[in-house]
Amino acid sequence: MQVHPLLAPVVDLVFPPRCPLCGQGLAAQSGLCAGCWGDLAIPGEPSCAMCQRPFGEGVTHGAICAVCLAHPPRHEGIAAGTLYNDASRKLVLAFKHGHRIALAPMLARLITARLPADVGEGWLFVPVPLHRWRLWSRGFNQSALLARELAKARGGQVLLDGLVRIRRTPPLGGLGKAARARMLSGAIRLNPRRAEQIKDAKIVLVDDVLTSGATSDACVRIIKRTGAERVVIACFARVLDEALDAT
């Protein structure tokens, strides 16, 4: 929630600005302290031309990683604000499970910086859906909050209900690729009322964390089957342990 400039001094007096990671005092209500900014792992260049997986130094521009060569992705790129490490994990936990929804604009700014330059007006921002029971228990869809901020920053349109999750799925951590696919089979579907909007559209699929890619792959498959022209995946944190040393 944005605070009106006239009310900001009052809010700062009642709730002194502090870093959401370490608690150090800040000059403003948004952002991190200098030390915690340095703890975030920001993906850089060079990176894979298809999935933006960061490479080490010496890799030529336009190179494609081994993963994409072996299994070409259906999407047209992944825009990750950070690589998943201890600092980004704490931010995600505070945002999603700690109900610190005021972190959404800051997290979205990091994602926006990694989006392709042509993503903007005319694009649809579609969040990865939550099952209704999880949405009711949590009170919000963290991906939808990020999608709203990204659309606002780039001038696009949010399509909150483009996809629907009709079946709850357990955590996918520790499962193999085939097991993840079985768990997600039929769990996410297209909202038929949004089919015409998605057909021939340029889509940004938004999630908070990209782990194995199983959920985003299922979403991309549905969107592409509906006839979308392009799909870019946007997330705040991407799990790529092998790439942390390449940032």
| Residue 34 CB contacts under 8 Å (≥ 6 apart), including other chains | none
- Long-range CB pairs of 181-185 (<8 Å, 24+ gap) are 181/214, 181/218, 183/214, 184/214, 184/215, 184/218
Q: Distance (Å, rounded) from C-alpha 70 to C-alpha 76?
A: 16
pTM of this structure: 0.89
* Total domains in the fold of the chain: 2
Range of the domain at 17: 1-39
Same domain, yes or no, for 4 and 95? no
State residue 14's pLDDT score. Answer: 44
7 shares its domain with 106: no
Same domain, 102 and 213: yes
Residues 62 and 103 in one domain: yes
How confident is the prediction along the chain (247 residues), in pLDDT tens digits per residue? 454 454 444 444 445 678 888 887 765 656 888 889 999 999 988 899 999 998 877 788 889 999 999 999 999 999 999 999 999 999 999 999 998 998 999 999 999 999 999 999 999 999 999 999 889 989 999 999 999 999 999 999 999 999 999 987 766 666 666 777 777 778 899 999 999 999 999 999 999 999 888 899 999 999 999 999 999 999 999 999 877 765 5
* 32 in Cβ contact with 21 (< 8 Å): yes
- SS3 at position 43: coil
* Residues 74 and 172 occupy one common structural domain: yes
Instruction: Please report which residue ranges of 102-160 form alpha helices under DSSP H.
Output: 104-112, 132-138, 142-154
Same domain, 66 and 19: no
Tell me the CATH number at 111. 3.40.50.2020
Q: Are residues 20 and 114 in the same domain?
A: no
Claim to verify: residue 55 and residue 35 sit in the same structural domain: no
C-alpha closest to that of 219 among 237, 207, 229: 207
Count the residues in the chain.
Answer: 247
Extended strands (E) in 78-201? 78-83, 123-127, 157-158, 163-165, 188-190
The residues near 224 (Cβ < 8 Å, ≥ 6 apart) are 74, 231
Residues near 45 by beta carbon (within 8 Å), at least 6 away in sequence: 54, 61
